[in-house]
Amino acid sequence: MNHQPRKRFGQNFLNDNLVIDRIIEFVNPQPAEIIIEVGPGLGALTLPLLERVDSLQVIEIDRDLIAKLQQRKNPKLTIHEADVLNINWPELAQDSPLRIVGNLPYNIGTPLLLNLLEARGCIADIHVMLQKEVVDRLCASVGSRAYGRLSVLMQSCFNVHELFIVPPSAFTPPPKVQSAVVRLTPLPTSPDKETVKKLSVATRMAFANKRKTLRNNLKEVLPETRIVEAGLNPQARAETLNLDQFLTLAKMLP
C-alpha cells in the first residue's frame, strides 16, 4: 500500500519480515485471546496476527490508513478510530485480559505506558516496539544512567524484559535512532492504586533535579525528619534509591 508517512503521527512503518516474524513468535497469539494492536499502520503486524487469531482489534488515528485497512474487508478485524491516549482500556477488556501489541510512534511511547500502568488490572501482557533509549529506561537498574522515574513506576507493577534490538533499516522511513522490542507482564502482586499515585508524585519530585538531594527535591511535600523516619538519607539522590525504598518514601507522603 502506498502511503506518505506523516511526521505529526510519528509514522515509521516496519518492513523487515525477520523482525515481524520475531515479534509474532514472542507474542505467540492464541485464537481466542483479546489482542489489541496499537498503530497498525500498513498492516505489517496486523496481517500475520489475523492469520493466528479469531479476532483482532486495532487502534489507529490516521484516517487514510484506516481506509486502507477497511479495504481488506476482513471480518476478523475491528478498527477503532481514536487517539490511543484516550482509550478506555477496561471497556475494551470486557472482563477478559488484554494483550497489547504495537510498533509505537516515539512521541507517544512514554505517555501510553503510563496510561497502561493505570489500566494494568485488565492487561495480560504488552509487547511493543519503542525507541531503544526508552526501553533502556524501562529496564534500568538503580544507580545506572538510564535509571529514573519511568524505571521505578513501571517496575513497581510489571516484569520488564527487553527482547531484541531493531535497527533503523527495518523501517520506512528509517528513524535516526535504534528501536527495541520490550515485553511487560503485570506482577502477581503490585502496589494498590493509591500507593502508585503517591509513587508517581514521589518520583516526579525526587527526579526533578538529579543533582539535588532528596531533602531539596521533596521539601515541599516531605520534611527532612519524615525522610529520616523512612530510613533514608536526606542527602541521598534519587538515582541511588531502589524500588522498595521509593515505595517506602511514597507511603510517607501526606
Q: Contact 41/13 with Cβ under 8 angstroms? A: yes
Centre a 10 Å sphere on the Cβ of residue 13 and count the other Cβ atoms it contains: 18
Which is it for strands 34-38 and 98-103: parallel, antiparallel or unpaired?
A: parallel
Q: Reply yes or no on domain 193-251 having CATH 1.10.8.100.
A: yes
pLDDT for the residue numbered 44? 95
Instruction: Write out the DSSP string of 81-142.
Output: ES-GGG--HHHHHTTS-EEEEEE--GGGHHHHHHHHHHTGGGEEEEEEEEEHHHHHHHHPPT
Mean of the pLDDT values across residues 149-172?
A: 97
- The partner residues of 131 in beta bridges, in order of sequence, read 179
Residue-wise pLDDT for 182-238, tens only, equals 999 999 999 999 999 999 999 999 999 988 999 999 999 999 999 999 899 999 999
pLDDT score, position 8: 52
Separation CA 144–CA 141 (nearest Å): 6
Q: How would you label 39-68 residue by residue, b for 16+ Cβ within 10 Å and e otherwise?
A: bbbbbbbbbbbbeebeebbbbbbbeebbeb
Domain ranges across the chain: 7-186, 193-251
Instruction: Please name the residue ranges forming H helices in the chain.
Output: 17-27, 46-50, 63-70, 89-93, 109-118, 132-139, 149-157, 193-206, 214-217, 224-229, 243-251
CA 57 to each of CA 129, 144, 155: distance values in angstroms, whole numbers, following the listed order: 18, 38, 27
Cα(75)–Cα(55) distance, rounded to whole angstroms?
8
Q: What is the CATH number of domain 7-186?
A: 3.40.50.150
Q: Residue 6 in contact with residue 41, Cβ under 8 Å?
A: no
The pLDDT, as a whole number, for residue 7 is 54
Predicted local distance difference test score (pLDDT) of residue 233:
95
Q: What is the pLDDT of residue 127?
A: 98
What confidence category does residue 72 fall into, taking pLDDT thresholds of 50, 70 and 90?
A: confident
How many angstroms separate the CA atoms of 46 and 162, rounded? 22
DSSP state of 32: T
pLDDT of residue 244: 96
In the prediction, which pLDDT does 210 show?
A: 84
7-186 and 193-251: same fold? Answer: no
Q: What is the mean pLDDT of residues 104-124?
A: 94
Q: CA 43, CA 14: separation in Å to the nearest integer?
A: 9
Q: In terms of pTM, does the model score above 0.85?
A: yes
Determine how β-strand 98-103 pairs with β-strand 171-172.
unpaired
> C-alpha grid cell for residue 53?
487469531
